[in-house]
Amino acid sequence: MMEAFLKTGKLGQSSGASAAGSKKTSQSQGGGKRGPAPWVEKYRPRTVEDVAYQDEVVSVLKKSLSGADLPNLLFYGPPGTGKTSTILAAARDLFGDMYRERILELNASDERGISVIRDKVKRFAQLSASGRRPDGRPCPPFKVIILDEADSMTKDAQSALRRTMEKEGRSTKFCLICNYVSRIIEPLTSRCAKFRFKPLANTILQGRLEMIAAKEGIKVSEAGMGALLTTSEGDLRMAITTLQSCARLKSGGDGPEAITETDVSELSGVVSKEWLDRIMSTLQNNSYFDMENLLQEFMCEGYSISQLIHQIHVQVVQDDHLSDGQKSQICEALAVSESRLLDGANEYLQLVDISSTMMSTFAKGA
């Protein structure tokens, strides 16, 4: 039974193992050539030092690495800001080569109902951990259980965790990771040191992207870089993924061709500025006929309507010509439509709905 668990425990870390593998390949390539590894994995921070921008977490973790005790951790914040990378890097720093035996990583793809918490987590928590590595060097006498995407755990499973967390607290540290901290039950949040991961600042994003571009030998025009920063909105994973797609688009020609703004907006799925301006100005005309023609043409472009809603929201909030009353009416319609889309509503009908609300709100005036 125990062996079976240990096996599954190891299987659970296959992502960590492949990350370590990709490190080797990226090193042997000297970073000069485009390898098969996705760049987000290839350029994942290896040590806590490498994690950019999240200074509070990094300094607490560094203290723990230098001997102090590690509290239970709760990392939360938007996607692509370094939560998973930070804890994996910390585990590697703490446990060195042994890190795969000392961590149990469970994420949303694993079954994490109440039975798994009772069996797998509890059993791993009860294993003892010595304060020495096989080579005799000291290492922290605890294990780390990483519950990634904890906001998708059921409430029951979360409650089941409370007792285990308290009882095994000395030999097992927990790290809960989520996007929405409000979905974690209060008794768990109060047992953890909470760390908010902020969307990365543009200067940091630009720094990382430039580093990757230099290592991969690709060129990015200034406007292209600007577009990468605005489309990703602080999500470094998205910025890196878009950069890699653009690089694929440009490869094959002779010599590196610079990535332009158009490449980025084509590949990131963001609605182009021309389309956004066209929609806004047509809606000012207060003609249902014009609106419908335009919307049908827009649908043929294949953009995601949720994306459009997001961009209209940004644009409307910043528009000085609209009164506060108009803005709030439009934003409410946007919010309602977004929620309906999440429930599976028809995209075109929702587009018509928000467009006609906007049209009549514009027509009413301030």
Structure tokens at 211: 């580093």
Per-residue binding letters, 60-89, with Mg ion (x by CB under 5 A): ------------------------x-----
CB of 304 to Mg ion, least distance (A): 22
- Choose between 65 and 280: whose C-beta lies nearer to ligand ATP: 65
Contacts for 236 with CB less than 8 Å, ≥ 6 apart: 80, 81, 82, 200, 204, 205, 208
CB of 297 to Mg ion, least distance (A): 38
Spatial distance between the Cα atoms of 256 and 252, rounded to a whole number of angstroms:
9
Residue 303 binding partner per list Mg ion, ligand ATP, none, with a CB distance cut-off of 5 to 8 Å that depends on partner kind? none
- Choose between 20 and 331: whose C-beta lies nearer to Mg ion: 20
Spatial distance between the Cα atoms of 183 and 155, rounded to a whole number of angstroms:
9
* Alpha helices, DSSP H, located in 66-189: 83-95, 99-102, 114-116, 122-126, 155-167, 186-189
- Choose between 80 and 224: whose C-beta lies nearer to ligand ATP: 80
Spatial distance between the Cα atoms of 349 and 355, rounded to a whole number of angstroms:
10
Spatial distance between the Cα atoms of 107 and 117, rounded to a whole number of angstroms:
12
Residue 45 binding partner per list ligand ATP, Mg ion, none, with a CB distance cut-off of 5 to 8 Å that depends on partner kind? ligand ATP
Site for Mg ion in 80-139 (CB under 5 A): 84
- Choose between 9 and 77: whose C-beta lies nearer to ligand ATP: 77
Spatial distance between the Cα atoms of 71 and 57, rounded to a whole number of angstroms:
12
CB of 39 to ligand ATP, least distance (A): 7
CB–CB of 267/249 below 8 Å?
yes
CB of 220 to ligand ATP, least distance (A): 17
Closest residue by beta carbon to ligand ATP:
82
Candidates 43, 28, 23, 20; CA nearest to 211 is 43
CB of 19 to ligand ATP, least distance (A): 9
- Choose between 167 and 248: whose C-beta lies nearer to ligand ATP: 248
Q: How far is residue 52 CA from its own chain's centroid?
A: 14
CB–CB of 313/331 below 8 Å?
yes
Q: Give the footprint of ligand ATP on this chain (CB under 6 A).
A: 40, 43-45, 51-54, 79-85, 179, 197, 236-237, 240
CB of 15 to Mg ion, least distance (A): 10
- Choose between 177 and 294: whose C-beta lies nearer to ligand ATP: 177
- Choose between 243 and 359: whose C-beta lies nearer to ligand ATP: 243
CB–CB of 178/184 below 8 Å?
yes
Q: Does 13 bind Mg ion (CB under 5 A)?
A: no
Residue 236 binding partner per list Mg ion, ligand ATP, none, with a CB distance cut-off of 5 to 8 Å that depends on partner kind? ligand ATP
Interface with Mg ion by CB under 5 A: which residues? 84
